[in-house]
Structure 1
Amino acid sequence: MRLVPVTIADVAARAGVSKTTVSRVLNGKGELDSATAARIRDLIAEMGYVPSARAVGLARGRTRIVAMLLPSLNWPWMGEVLQGVVEVVESQGYGLLVFTCTRGDESLRHFASQVSAQSFDGLVVIEPDGTLDYIATLHEQGLPVVLIDDRGHSPRFPSVRSTNHDGARAAAGHLLELGRRRPLIIAGDERFGCVRERLAGFAEAYARAGLTLDAALRLDGDFTYESGRLAARRALEHGLEFDAVFAHNDVMAVAAMQVLRGAGRRIPEDVAVIGFDDLPLAAQADPPLTAVRQPVREMGAAAARALLAHLAGTPLPETPAILPATLTVRASTTG
């Protein structure tokens, strides 16, 4: 039994022709004697040669592979957005290459080498820190790019984003309906546009209700569990008075809930808690977490659809695709 796959060189050797001639038969290119072409096709069938999609694609000027560039696979919602991309890409017969920047410049050099080698037809990207100008340059040089904009950048090329401002405003509105007037905010890094949008939307709702948020009740985190835990502990140790928590992601919200419950605070009776993203973690928390749902899987799917439509001949959209964030109410606010 032959365990080594049949190659184009094997077919060429059996047929007594060059690999280029076999390639022409596979791709329908060039003038070939009909008897020779028929003999080569018969040998391909007899030997069980299966040309790789990549080899055929390259011969036709297209790989039928798209790439995705990510900061890391460890971000809490990355699996959801990646799944959205995968479902669309696979359904249309494309392959997917995933690149991360976990090794910094070394990772970027490897990615750049694959761009130079034209290893893929287009790119879906969640921007690794400091790469937005580089990605924009790739787009300007002819690489089709769609950004999943999780940071509020509004780039110079096609993007898909969510309504961070409106989602945070909905969270504030829910707390106001519950009579919560002193929310503790555990924010993300304000250098990200999405964080500034969430802060602004939340404050807007309170301002419309005639209330000014206490600046002392804003503590900064970095979207990690540890930063949520430390923020909640700091609030308790400093004796801050608050009747709600709005955390800028689910991970920090769950961490805060655990600290508060450990300190004897009842949720939601004493403190109502809202997160952001609405990952599976939110529904599994104790109590289940009310959260602003950021449609990250749908964002991934929308970015992939736009990119593949472009590769099929449809121009990339000139304006961002905006998917609404919505509030999912659970027991961490309503009991």
Structure 2
Amino acid sequence: MPITIADVASRAGVSKTTVSRVLNGKGEVDESTAARVRRVIDELGYTPSARAVNLARGHTRVIGMLVPSLIWPWMGEIVQGAVDVVEAEGYGLLLFTCNRGAESMRQFSAQVSGKAFDGLLAIEPEGTLDYLADLYAGGLPVVLIDDRGDKPLMPSVGTTNRAGGALAARHLVEIGRRHPLVITGPEKFGCTQDRLRGFADVFDASGHPVDPRFVMEGDFTYDCGAQAIQRALGLGLEFDAVFAHNDLSAAGALQALRHAGRTVPGDVALVGFDDILHAAHTEPPLTTIRQPMRQMGEMAARRLIAHFDGTPLTSEPNILSTTLVVRSSTA
């Protein structure tokens, strides 16, 4: 049978509270009593629960991570980046998803109330930003990853969405494309607005402003990319380039263009956003704007752990740069 704190207390002739105080270095214990307790601990080979000791000291050495879902194509990269740092620093990671909606959030809230972790990394599940802001205002250390351009009043790690849109446009202009179709993400997301604004600014400056009729709102899915192409062709819109706001919708657009008899990049040059693993394996491989997903997870975790070590958390965001990756869908 495992040795318990009660066994130590009984052998040493003290209370369990006294043993706990000796283990945690809290409270005043007579030195001779403390020495006796430590001797009994050695004799019995008692090993205290790391979780119990940490809780007694007011921290768990566990970091919580809240994400919408693990099936998003780039989610694994961010989580892996965070895990690499968390494990290297001797912390544990408690991962929560919102796959079951309100029930998932109820379970997560119970863990928050139970102080199951010292701080939180969050890729904002839809509709939870105000809740996360309340947790931060209430004293829970929170770092938001991929803030979707919402610019929340809490620590965050994001990327250059507007500059990324501009990179895509500049590349298309440089290869001679003048009539782009844009497949956006949901309009309510700040990142969607930033990517569209950066893209449109470059085409405006080139003397070929983006016609609003050529901007199709999507939802970051494969189907929305295919449907946007079908809708544009059905309306008789003529375009020589497509900028999709993520790689999944770009892949859907690529398939729909092929079915319509349009060649890529001959008839239509195609650019995505994210640089997920699949982007290099479409046919042709996809030119895209790379978001540094793993580095975002790493930076967020480092920022949270630095706070535990005494560095204050501020609402100033950390912004990592996007880069253009040119492949055969435009070359």
Q: Which amino acid aligns with 2:304?
A: L
Q: State which of 209, 213, 216 in structure 1 corresponds to 2:210.
A: 213
8 Å CA contact 2:145, 2:156 repeated in 1: yes
Q: How far off is 1:313 after superposition?
A: 0.5
Counterparts of residues 258-269 of structure 1 (less than 5 Å):
258-269=255-266
Q: How far off is 1:275 after superposition?
A: 0.6
Instruction: Name the CA distance, whole Å, in 1 between partners of 2:185 and 2:27.
Output: 59
1:3-43 deviation per Cα after TM superposition (whole angstroms, max 9, x unaligned)? xx544344444545433233223223344455554454454
Instruction: Name the CA distance, whole Å, in 1 between partners of 2:188 and 2:301.
Output: 27
1:250-278 deviation per Cα after TM superposition (whole angstroms, max 9, x unaligned)? 11111211221233322111211111011
Counterparts of residues 183-332 of structure 1 (less than 5 Å):
183-332=180-329
Instruction: Name the CA distance, whole Å, in 2 between partners of 1:151 and 1:318.
Output: 15
Q: Does 1:166 align with 2:163?
A: yes
Q: Which residue of 2 aligns with 1:96?
A: 93
TM-score, with structure 2 as normaliser: 0.93
8 Å CA contact 2:179, 2:208 repeated in 1: no
User: Per the alignment, in what secondary structure is the counterpart of residue 329 of structure 2?
Assistant: helix
1:186-243 deviation per Cα after TM superposition (whole angstroms, max 9, x unaligned)? 1110100000001100000000101111222221211111211222222233332111
Q: Which residue of 1 aligns with 2:119?
A: 122
8 Å CA contact 1:66, 1:122 repeated in 2: yes
Q: Which runs of 5+ in 1 are unaligned?
A: none
Q: Which has the larger displacement, 215-224 or 244-253? A: 215-224
8 Å CA contact 1:53, 1:64 repeated in 2: no
Q: Which amino acid aligns with 2:126?
A: D
Instruction: Name the CA distance, whole Å, in 2 between partners of 1:279 and 1:214.
Output: 29
Instruction: Name the CA distance, whole Å, in 2 between partners of 1:19 and 1:268.
Output: 74
Aligned-pair Cα RMSD in Å: 1.9
User: Per the alignment, in what secondary structure is the counterpart of residue 327 of structure 1?
Assistant: strand
Instruction: Name the CA distance, whole Å, in 1 between partners of 2:45 and 2:70.
Output: 38
Q: Which amino acid aligns with 1:72?
A: S
Q: Which amino acid aligns with 1:239?
A: G
Instruction: Name the CA distance, whole Å, in 2 between partners of 1:179 and 1:15.
Output: 84
Q: Which has the larger displacement, 305-314 or 70-79? A: 70-79
Q: Which residue of 2 aligns with 1:69?
A: 66
Identity of counterpart residues, as a percentage? Answer: 62
8 Å CA contact 2:242, 2:270 repeated in 1: yes
Summarize the Cα distance change of 1:20–1:174 in structure 2 as closer, same or farther, 3 Å threshold.
Answer: same
Counterparts of residues 2-17 of structure 1 (less than 5 Å):
5-17=2-14
8 Å CA contact 2:63, 2:94 repeated in 1: yes
8 Å CA contact 2:147, 2:156 repeated in 1: no
8 Å CA contact 2:85, 2:301 repeated in 1: yes
TM-score, with structure 1 as normaliser: 0.92
Instruction: Name the CA distance, whole Å, in 1 between partners of 2:167 and 2:67.
Output: 29
User: Per the alignment, in what secondary structure is the counterpart of residue 331 of structure 1?
Assistant: coil
User: Per the alignment, in what secondary structure is the counterpart of residue 281 of structure 1?
Assistant: helix
Q: Which amino acid aligns with 2:175?
A: L
Q: How far off is 1:328 after superposition?
A: 0.8
Summarize the Cα distance change of 1:202–1:14 in structure 2 as closer, same or farther, 3 Å threshold.
Answer: same
Q: Does 1:108 align with 2:105?
A: yes
Instruction: Name the CA distance, whole Å, in 1 between partners of 2:197 and 2:139.
Output: 36
Q: Which runs of 5+ in 2 are unaligned?
A: none
Summarize the Cα distance change of 1:235–1:13 in structure 2 as closer, same or farther, 3 Å threshold.
Answer: farther
Q: State which of 57, 60, 68 in structure 1 corresponds to 2:57.
A: 60
Instruction: Name the CA distance, whole Å, in 1 between partners of 2:229 and 2:15.
Output: 71
8 Å CA contact 2:3, 2:46 repeated in 1: yes
Instruction: Name the CA distance, whole Å, in 2 between partners of 1:6 and 1:84.
Output: 38
User: Per the alignment, in what secondary structure is the counterpart of residue 63 of structure 2?
Assistant: strand
Instruction: Name the CA distance, whole Å, in 1 between partners of 2:328 and 2:250.
Output: 13
Q: How far off is 1:46 after superposition?
A: 5.0
Q: Does 1:150 align with 2:175?
A: no
